[in-house]
Amino acid sequence: PKTLIEPFRIKSVEPIRMTTRAEREQLLQAAHLNVFKLRADDVLIDWLTDSGTGAMSSRQWGAIMEGDESYAGARSYYRLEKVIQDITGMAHFIPTHQGRAAEKVLFTAVCKKGDLVPNNCHFDTTRGNLEYMGVEALDCVEAVGLQPATIAPFKGNIDLARVEEVLQKEGARIPFGMLTVTNNTGGGQPVSMANIRAYAALLKKYGKPFIMDVCRFAENAMFIKMRESGYENTPIPDIVREMFSYADGATMSAKKDGMVNIGGFIVLRSDEWLDEVRSDLIMMEGFPTYGGMAGRDLEALAVGLQEGMDEDYLRYRLRTAEYLGEKLDEAGVGFVRPTGGHAVYIDAKTVLPDMPVAHYPAWALCNALYLEGGIRGVEIGSVMFGKRLQDGTETYHSMELVRLAFPRRMYTQSHFDYAAEVIAEVKEQAASIRGVKITKQPKFLRHFTAEFDWV
């Protein structure tokens, strides 16, 4: 049989509240045409993010009961420390409440105003944390990583020539180099082992430490196994270990491949920054043996990290995105190719080719998916990345994408079949989809709270 089944069965369920189109029309209107303002209960399929939204396993729920909530020296800390040391090969583990806290603690300890940090693509919070400190966050992904329709195996790779040029010209400003696996901002695209190895060597040549953003390290490892020659028969934990072996440290949002609803950490190979990092941690997050997490959360993560590297799970996980991609192809809907690990990014311009950018086609498509089928995605287009200038004119983003990000182990194949039908129906009725205009917006991160009306 060629169907790849979900490699788990369901032990506990959470009902979805069904809604009608007429109800959704009212609900979206009340949310000022902004799906961020909807109540989650009014959403049928919530693909807003894969972060912290997944289902935990029965083993994780069992582990939660084992949580040691001692303030200092909790057993749960030592248990997780051992798991993380084994997976990463790094000596030092610093728990935080989520990924952006790991970034903030590390950057505060190591960066200063005027610095520059290269990365394939900085995720929003990474960029935000750096820029807040007056540090320049430079994206150096290979050119192919910015071309949605081009098919390549590792579109998350960093452009090594570009980085070398920056190291030569700006070396004095660079405290370390970063690399995000997989590259979320570029479509959840993986980075090859060869690229990780070469980037590490380059940073070493210039005497710079190498920090990885490893939210989706297991998905990246599976892509290496499936696409990079020489790794076909390598077990995932060995691939992961090799990836980490090139780095000096990493920041992690455990809400992704850690398979938990909250949590994060920093790992470091040497103790050079450790005192500084730990004292910042105590100020910002908590005592070093719990950081920002409860003892039970440390336990759930110790189990989740191992489950996240299970090969049957990862094969099913990557196949899910690919499966939806195939259905979109059949419906003539364009998307970022190949599909990434955690999400599918629809190219709204292929559904609404005639809608002016000023009417925000990706936002309009997002609304249409909700109205037609109760699906919630995220616009990655000119509402998120455009700006209203002083003179009232607007700047626009180069792409109009809708990201559908998949919570882990939560939605079944019939949910995906349903979503594919909804998207195809929306495409059929594209002529009736209305654009929007912004009626109210804040200065920064306007997509979260802006209000809209139909044009």
Least distance CB 376 / ligand F0G (angstroms): 12
CA distance linking residue 241 with residue 87, whole number of Å? 6
184 near ligand F0G (CB under 6 A): yes
Q: For the chain, what's the residue count?
A: 455
Contacts of 402 (CB under 8 A, 6+ apart): 345, 346, 348, 362, 365, 366, 369, 377, 378, 379, 380, 381
Q: How far is the CB of 49 from ligand F0G (least distance, A)?
A: 3
Which C-beta is closer to ligand F0G: that of 51 or that of 350? 51
Least Cβ distance, residue 183 to ligand F0G (angstroms): 8
Rounded to whole angstroms, how far apart are CA atoms 335 and 150? 10
Residue 274: helix, strand or coil by DSSP? Answer: helix
| CB nearer ligand F0G, residue 122 or residue 278 | 122
126 vs 289, beta carbon nearer ligand F0G:
126
Q: Least distance to ligand F0G from the beta carbon of 172, Å?
A: 27
Judged by DSSP in three states, 267 sits in strand
180 binds ligand F0G (CB under 6 A): yes
DSSP class per residue in 219-248: HHHHHHHHHSTT-TTS-HHHHHHHHHHT-S
Query: 88 vs 180, which CB is nearer to ligand F0G?
Result: 180
Q: What distance in Å separates the CA atoms of residue 186 and residue 190, rounded to the nearest whole number?
A: 9
Residues contacting 215, CB < 8 A, separation 6+:
99, 123, 180, 181, 184, 252, 253, 255, 256, 257
Pick the closer one to ligand F0G by CB: 264 or 325.
Answer: 264
Question: Total number of residues binding ligand F0G (CB under 6 A)?
Answer: 16
Peptide bond into 338 cis (omega under 30): yes
Q: What is residue 45's DSSP assignment?
A: E
The closest residue (CB) to ligand F0G is 99
User: Closest approach of Cβ 154 to ligand F0G, in Å?
Assistant: 16
Looking at the Cβ atoms of 213 and 379, the one nearer to ligand F0G is 213
Least distance (Å) between residue 139 CB and ligand F0G: 12
User: Token pair of 64, please?
Assistant: 């939660």
Instruction: Identify the CA nearest to 436 among candidates 12, 24, 34.
Output: 34
Q: What DSSP designation does 310 have?
A: -
- As measured in angstroms, the least distance from the Cβ of 404 to ligand F0G is 12
Q: Which of 418, 453, 423, 424 is nearest to 439 (CA)?
A: 453
By CB under 6 A, residue 213 contacts ligand F0G: yes
Contact criterion met (CB below 8 Å) for 366 and 35: yes
Between CA 210 and CA 201 the distance in angstroms is 9
**157, 253, 289, 367: which one binds ligand F0G (CB under 6 A):** 253
Nearest residue (CB) to ligand F0G, 98 versus 289: 98
User: Beta strand 375-376 with 343-347: parallel, antiparallel or unpaired?
Assistant: unpaired
Nearer to ligand F0G, 218 or 433 (CB): 218
Position 99 contacts ligand F0G (CB under 6 A): yes
Task: Convert residues 38-77 into a mask of x (bound to ligand F0G by CB under 6 A) and - (unbound).
Answer: -----------x-x--------------------------
Segment interacting with ligand F0G (CB under 6 A) among 95-103, 192-200, 314-322, 446-454: 95-103
Q: Kindly indicate which of the ranges 82-90, 118-126, 354-362, 435-443 contains the residues binding ligand F0G, using the contact rule CB under 6 A.
A: 118-126
Quick one: which segment of 17-25, 122-130, 148-156, 344-352 binds ligand F0G (CB under 6 A)?
122-130
Contact 198, 139 (CB under 8 A): no
Residue with Cβ nearer ligand F0G (98 or 382): 98
* CB 256, min distance to ligand F0G, A: 7
Q: Which of 34, 60, 76, 126 binds ligand F0G (CB under 6 A)?
A: 126
Closer by beta carbon to ligand F0G, 215 or else 309: 215
- Cβ contact 383:404 at 8 Å: no
Cα–Cα nearest to 63, from 263, 243, 198:
263
Q: Judge residue 274's burial from the number of C-beta atoms within 10 Å of its C-beta, 0-12 exposed, 13-18 middle, 19 or more buried.
A: middle
| 215 binding ligand F0G? (CB under 6 A) | yes
Binding marks (x or -) toward ligand F0G, 365..404, rule CB under 6 A?
Answer: ----------------------------------------
- Our finding on whether 125 is near ligand F0G (CB under 6 A) is yes
- Binding residues for ligand F0G, per CB under 6 A? 49, 51, 98-100, 123, 125-126, 180, 184, 213, 215, 253, 255, 264, 405
